[in-house]
Structure 1
Amino acid sequence: MNFLNQAKATQTQSLLSKVPEVTLYFWIVKVLTTAMGESTSDYLVYHFNPYLAVILGAFGFAVALVIQFRARRYVAWIYWLLVVTVSIFGTMAADVVHIVLGVPYVASVCFFALSLAILFILWQRVEGTLSIHSIYTPRREFFYWAVVLATFALGTATGDWTAMSLHLGYLGSGLLFTGLFLLPGLLFWARGLNGIAAFWSTYVMTRPFGASFADWMGKPHAAHDLGYGSGVVSLALTALIIIFVGYLSMSKKDSPAAGKLSDDNEPDSID
């Protein structure tokens, strides 16, 4: 009887989950959003009033956040709309810290890394788990999106630090973060890293990975990059995101499935 009650509770929690199943599609769309956020932020900031661009970015993020929190379950277009706005606004926030406030990239990296660590510690202490398979209460969802925003800001600052301060360039940074993006998965496959640590390590790396290649494609030839322009890159990436999210909305391939989101075999922390 206890087993049946536990199974029923797990099924209910799965149906109430506000995040998608972690599949190959999840990582594809996630990387596309990080690249799109970088190119869109660059285009808005450098082609329009930068202060107005930041205000619009914050407004878009706030609207998408309200829509996501009002939803009762995972809806593909709602979830990914918020990820896109987080990507744009997170990029702007990191850029403002360096460009407007004059904070060095390495200091920004340290600050955002510390902020992310504090959020993880608070989330673990309050909820007892860092698993994204447990996002079915408003408080857990708050922690989740706060961490997501911090990962975008940290990833932006890290990518700029390696490309500019360490002089790796955007292509060099992209290749570096490609390896770092794949590493947690390999360690997880080799059973050297638990699932939660592997997920969040990979998640953090998606930002500098996607953004570095977006900058490489968009920056001018004088910077040894492809020079397509941030506007063109942003439009191309937006089209790809719409195609993938449209497919996921129709196919439901990333919808939380009953019984698949149980944390029975997954550690609660990254220890």
Structure 2
Amino acid sequence: MTNTLSDHIRTILFNRVPEVTLAFWVIKILSTTTGETVADYLNTTLGLGLAITSWVMTGLLIVVLIAQFMTKRYASGVYWSVVVLISVVGTLLTDTLTDVFGVQLWLSTVVFSALLAVTFGIWFARERTLSIHSIFTRRREAFYWVAILFTFSLGTAAGDLITEGFGLGYLVGTILFAALIGVIAIARFAFRANVVACFWAAYILTRPLGASMGDLLAQDPAAGGLGLGTTVTSAVFLVVIIGVATYLGVKVRRQRALATVESDELVPAAA
């Protein structure tokens, strides 16, 4: 049956990750911001400490990842829960290396860049593609989530290096990373740059963009922020994430209903 289906219908019916739309990027950026603020809230505001916070969030991530791999195809609620939790864990991983083991941010940036490159290399060698439009198997999805984890850790390290290590501040960092994403968008749509390369480059940059936004909103004015606090920032962004993710879930269900009808019409025609 699948041989008779168009690539678009196959993606709608069988892909295990969402379609890349404006709503996708909105949730992605907000989830990275939430990852930054939630990590700070649990670690500092609640006083759990870096170690306990890391173990708790890693445990939750494992549980939700198991639920994700048990699904037959993309499920909005489960998928975005994984993204939010993996953003927190990725942040905590970099923070642990910096605060506990004293690894400098430039070195973390280099290490996570290398790990991400190795992940992409193995993924491509095994699957011959890095496209997220064909995540039809659990092995491809495993590569996908490993890459996502390293993009969050890399984005955290690079973002902190630029905003804090180089002393540019959260506002300048937010503007800088937004501008870089804008350059990628121009390269993709104006100059037809490779879609897969543009996607992953933008995905990496949304992490420091979201982190800079989170720090800009949450940190005290004395530290260069607006002073909203991690509680308010996390709560507001989580509400928006839930709302947009719910919209995407409804949209996907409608698309699948139409795609199912189209696929049923294609099979008799091919026969």
TM-score w.r.t. the length of structure 2 is 0.89
Aligned AA (2:48): N
Within 2, Cα distance between the matches of 1:69 and 1:199?
23
Change in 2 beyond 3 A, CA 1:9/1:250: closer
Give 1:156 deviation, angstroms: 0.6
* Matching residue of 2:263: none
Residues 24-82 of structure 1, C-alpha deviations (whole Å, 9 max, x = no match): 11011111101111100111111222221111110111011001000001111111010
Within 2, Cα distance between the matches of 1:255 and 1:130?
24
Within 2, Cα distance between the matches of 1:66 and 1:24?
27
The alignment status of 1:35 with 2:14, answered yes or no, reads no
Q: 1:8 aligns with which of 5, 13, 18?
A: 5
* Matching residue of 1:123: 123
Q: What pairs up with 1:1-271 in 2 under 5 angstroms?
A: 6-8=3-5, 10=7, 11-12=9-10, 14-47=12-45, 48-50=47-49, 51-252=51-252, 258=259
8 A Cα contact 2:41 2:231, kept in partner:
yes
Give 1:225 deviation, angstroms: 1.3
8 A Cα contact 2:15 2:73, kept in partner:
yes
Within 2, Cα distance between the matches of 1:23 and 1:198?
14
Give 1:231 deviation, angstroms: 1.5
Give 1:255 deviation, angstroms: 6.0
Q: What secondary structure, in the 3-state scheme, does the structure 1 residue paired with 2:20 have?
A: coil
Aligned AA (2:29): V
Report the identity percentage.
38
Residues 154-199 of structure 1, C-alpha deviations (whole Å, 9 max, x = no match): 0011110001111101111111000111221110112251111111
8 A Cα contact 1:15 1:258, kept in partner:
yes
Give 1:106 deviation, angstroms: 0.5
* Matching residue of 2:267: none
Q: What secondary structure, in the 3-state scheme, does the structure 1 residue paired with 2:5 have?
A: helix
8 A Cα contact 2:12 2:255, kept in partner:
no
Within 1, Cα distance between the matches of 2:194 and 2:48?
45
Q: What secondary structure, in the 3-state scheme, does the structure 2 residue paired with 1:252 have?
A: helix
Higher helix residue share: 2
Give 1:117 deviation, angstroms: 0.6
TM-score w.r.t. the length of structure 1 is 0.89
5+ long unaligned stretches in structure 2: 261-271
Give 1:249 deviation, angstroms: 1.9
Give 1:18 deviation, angstroms: 0.3
Residues 104-133 of structure 1, C-alpha deviations (whole Å, 9 max, x = no match): 111110011111111011111110000001
Within 2, Cα distance between the matches of 1:245 and 1:194?
27
5+ long unaligned stretches in structure 1: 260-271
Within 1, Cα distance between the matches of 2:71 and 2:250?
18
Within 2, Cα distance between the matches of 1:203 and 1:82?
15
Give 1:146 deviation, angstroms: 0.4
* Matching residue of 1:266: none
Give 1:258 deviation, angstroms: 4.7
Aligned length: 256
8 A Cα contact 1:74 1:255, kept in partner:
no
Within 2, Cα distance between the matches of 1:252 and 1:158?
34
8 A Cα contact 1:21 1:254, kept in partner:
no
Change in 2 beyond 3 A, CA 1:254/1:175: farther
Within 1, Cα distance between the matches of 2:192 and 2:254?
26
Within 2, Cα distance between the matches of 1:105 and 1:116?
16
Within 2, Cα distance between the matches of 1:13 and 1:210?
28
